[in-house]
Structures are given as structure tokens and as C-alpha cells.
A and B are shown apart, each in its own frame.
Chain A
């Protein structure tokens, strides 16, 4: 199966899971799904650790884990249900691939710095990958983590930022003038890559470690990617699909 086919199948499964559970948060799941698939199929090794800082993209993570056989259709049917382990934001302690519970923004990157530092102290050659949102950079704890990770020279840490440009109540530029975030981070003297977050050839940059600190990858993405009426629309940060919308979305994604 090509990467394009993989993304298509995963996108369909994500839409179905959210539709069946009648929950939203689709926009930010669709924007990072391709990157999560690339990471889980082509990058992560046994000794590596992944942290989903943007916990509201739990659906995309569950689908990525489903696509590598770590979750079943039966598991996905429990998404957002009572007595589930597949909550709307990841909960801890039941699957090694879900290292920590997340959902409150500004936690994943700091936790990842500790993981990376511990691996170095343990002489463990594994790497740590952390997927963040762009709006999440308004949380001060991330800047603490950036200072710390650069100072500790955590070159076994890769930070992936899903730059879809939309957050909870506006664009990242409208809310907090975050349009030039990569320029601000450059001032910290960390390795920066800016890529198309839907292009597998460019996503290959994840393989590259940094030399004096974390590698920060800005992945320019489209919120709601693949569904015309969702793309770059704020409301799909929240809304669930009705039956007509689900059918249209499914047909659009299925189209060659």
C-alpha cells in the first residue's frame, strides 16, 4: 500500500470513528494525521518514545495505532464511550505507545524533555518525538522546555509542530500574532525545519536528529485536510458530523 493509500484509508477510518461516536475535534485530527502515520510507519523504532502534546488529536493517534495493528476495530468502537480507554484525550497506563496522559496544552513538550534527558543518562540511544499544536505555543511552559532542552543539548528530541493556523477561537495570528513562530524559535539556536506536513517526502526530515538541542519541525498543514467543507474552517475544531456531512466527507476522501 502506498503512503497515499494509507492516508486515504486512515482518513476514512478517522471520519467513521468520530461520526459513530458523534464527537468533533476533527479539524486538528485531519491536519496532523499524515504526520502521525508517517511517524508510526516509517520513523519510530523500538527504543523511541512518542508524546502527543496536542491531546485533542487523540483520534488521529488511535487511527495511527490502528493502522499499525496496535488497536482493533473493536477498540475504536469504544472511542468516547462509557468505560473506555479511548477517551477524547489520551489517558495513561494501558498501552505502551501512549506514554502519558495529555490534553491540557503545554505539558507534552516539557515531559518529553525529561524523557530525552533520562534516555541520555541511561545511555539509551532511543529518540523522543513530540507532536504539538501551533496555538499551544502560547503556553509559557513550552518556552521553559525550549530553554531547558537547548541548554541540555537534547539532540535526541524532535518536536513536530502542526501549523494549521487555527486555534480555539480564531487564527493563531488573530489571537496571539503567532504567524512567525519559527523565526522566534530560531532565536534559541535550535535546528528548525519548515515543511509541508502532508508531503511524505518532506516528512522524511523527521529522521534527522539535531546536534545541539531539539530538532523543531514546523509542519505547515491544513486544518480539516481532505474534506472540502472543513478545510481551514474554525468550526471544525469542535463540530461533530451529521449524516449528510459524513456521507459527503466519505465520498470526497474516497474519490481518487
Chain B
């Protein structure tokens, strides 16, 4: 998704000037953006706290500002700067975390971000954008730029099957039809699920819905989705994020407030249960949230209904 993001920012900069600050990252990806932006592209160095605060200061002066780093480095290290300088000052800084979830795989746990949007959604006015596919990135970037609120863009690695088409990026969209309830997915794991899901007949699989924008998605659940969950009684949520602060928990709360109380099958990040580390695929397997495990668990739960 990095290349898609670079292209999106280049297009955006050709429309209007903005500042882009990177925490010394972007090698083999952001050079075209740097070359286009000139002085508006700022390598702020390995100093994420200052970078976020500086971006807030730029916003205060009326300059749109984006900050970029690996996901854990941009939300965790400068968390107080995001809370105080960005959110409490109501400044629409755009925060970009590359490699959300387990995307940095065997680089180790320091490079994973499996609690990022749960943490950030607790902040005043924060919006979170999670593209599922590379083609989602440009509309997400445009929406963030147009928003007067702070935003967090969680980038990952696109897993979309090359021969499958998807609806445009939005808070909610149905990726594939199914007659057996609903499965909600957040982020790139959607691609692997689509690939696996099409092996099943429509009357023996759930409808697959992607959640892309939070908290907007929590407050605007489509009627069709709501009714299906209500009728089926099972809500399956797949996300590369820990349960605490997750989309699954937020959705469950939203639905309960509307009198809909499904059983939750939550296929989410479990941390590091074996104490060993590996690829993104390895960590999904350990969390039983890879496509095969998700379908197996869904089938088991469905039989119990």
C-alpha cells in the first residue's frame, strides 16, 4: 500500500500544498514524493515526538500536515503529543502508520501495532481509516485531507485476489454476498478471506463486509447489515488488533444499544501466545485468525446456532 499512498499524496500535492513529515522512513517508496514536494517534504529525523508536535504547530498556522512512520513508532512513542498537541488542540494532523497489525512480521514485536486504533480512538475527534486494499488508499487519503479532524491511516500489505473487483472504499461495504449471516473484516486480511470465501457456495457462507472508517462505522451500521446480524444471531469480526479497544467490541456495544445482542465470534490478535515470533502469516495462525481458521471457527459456531 505504500506505493499507492505515495501516488495518492503526489496527486494531492498537485492539487494543493501540504507538508509531509517523515520520521526518517520511506526509502525505496517515498522518493517520488520527496522529489515533487521540495521544501514541503521534511525528514524530521528519528524524533517522532517532535515530529508530531511540529505537525500540530504547522496545522495551527494553517498548513495541512501529514506525519509518517512505521505504525508503532507513530502512535505509541508520541502518544502524548497526539493526545495533547493534536487532539486537545483540535488540530487536523494526518497520522500515517505503515505496517499495522503484524505486518512487519519477523522484524519482531517492537514493529507490530496490534493495539493502535483501539488506543487512538479514545482520543478526542480522532478518525481512523483502515484500507483493505491498495486501491482504497487514494480515497482514504482524500477523505482524510478533506476532514477537519485528526486522522490515523493504518497501512498494510494488499492481499486482494487480482481477479476480484470490490466496491469503492467507504465506512462500510459488502465485499461478497452470502446467505449465512455476516462476517465483518477490518484491513488487508479481507483479501485472503475473499479468496477463501469464494470456494464456498453462496448459500453456505456469510456475507463479507469491510469496515474501513472508525468511529463513523460504529454509529452508522447499514440497515441490511443490522437486520442480517439480528436474524442470524452471530456476529463474526476479523481484525488484526487485540480484543481490547477493538472494532468487534465497539460494534457489539453499538448493536446492544439498538437492542441487537448477537453472539460474537472474535477472530483477533492474541499477542504472542507461544512466545516465539515469525511472519505475519505465522502470527495470524497463532491467533487463529488466518482465513482457514476463521472459516473453520465460523462453521463451528454456525452449527451451534
A-B contacts counted at CB < 8 A amount to: 106
**Among the listed A49, A119, A124, A147, which residue makes an inter-chain contact with B47, where contact means beta carbons less than 8 Å apart?**
A147
Which residues does chain A contribute within 8 Å of B85, judged by CB atoms? 100, 107, 110-111
Q: How many angstroms between the C-alpha atoms of A209 and B52 in the bound complex?
A: 25
- Cβ of A100 and Cβ of B50 under 8 Å apart? no
B190 to chain A, nearest CB (A): 36
Report the interface size class on chain A: 20 to 34
Complexed CA–CA distance, A255 and B301 (Å): 83
* A144 interface residue per 8 A CB criterion: yes
Pairwise interchain contact A148-B50, C-beta atoms closer than 8 A = yes
Question: Which residue of chain A has its CB nearest to the CB of B63?
Answer: A118
Measured as residues with beta carbon below 8 angstroms from the partner, the interface class of chain B is 20 to 34
Most A Cβ at <10 Å: residue of B62, B65, B84: B84
Cβ contacts under 8 Å, A164 to chain B = none
Shortest C-beta distance, A93 to chain B (Å), equals 6
Residues of B within 8 A of A64 (CB): none
| Contact assessment for B40 and A121 in the assembled complex, using a CB-CB cutoff below 8 Å | yes
The docked-state distance in angstroms from the alpha carbon of A121 to that of B84 is 24
Name B's interface SS.
Answer: helix
B90: CB under 8 A from chain A?
yes
Interface residues of B in 177-233 (CB under 8 A from A): none
Closest chain-B Cβ to A77's Cβ sits at a distance in Å of 25
B65: nearest residue on chain A (CB-CB)? Answer: A114
Contact between A101 and B89 (Cβ–Cβ < 8 Å)? Answer: yes
B50 near A144 with CB under 8 A, answer: yes
Q: Which residue of A lies closest to B88 (CB)?
A: A101
Chain B residue nearest to A148 in the complex (CB): B50
Check A147–B58 contact: CB distance below 8 A.
Answer: no
Main DSSP-derived SS at the A contact region: helix
List residues of A (150-165) whose CB comes within 8 Å of B's CBs. Answer: 151-152
Tell me which of B44, B52, B59 has the highest count of chain A C-beta atoms within 10 A of its own C-beta.
Answer: B44
What residue of chain B has the Cβ atom nearest to residue A141's Cβ? B49
Tell me if B61 and A111 are in contact (CB < 8 A): no
Contact status of A141 and B61, CB under 8 A, knowing A92-B89, A92-B90, A110-B50: no
What are 30 pairs between A and B in contact, CB < 8 Å?
A49-B60, A91-B88, A100-B56, A100-B89, A101-B84, A103-B84, A107-B53, A107-B80, A110-B49, A110-B50, A110-B52, A113-B53, A114-B59, A114-B61, A114-B65, A117-B42, A117-B57, A118-B58, A118-B60, A118-B63, A121-B63, A122-B61, A122-B62, A122-B63, A141-B81, A144-B45, A144-B47, A145-B50, A148-B44, A148-B54
Residues of B at the A interface (CB closer than 8 Å) are: 17, 19, 39-40, 42, 44-45, 47, 49-50, 52-63, 65, 80-81, 84-85, 88-90
A-side interface residues toward B, CB under 8 Å?
A: 49, 91-93, 99-104, 106-107, 110-119, 121-122, 124, 140-141, 144-145, 147-148, 151-152
Other 5 A-B pairs with CB < 8 A, given A93-B90, A111-B60, A118-B19: A141-B49, A141-B50, A145-B53, A147-B47, A148-B54
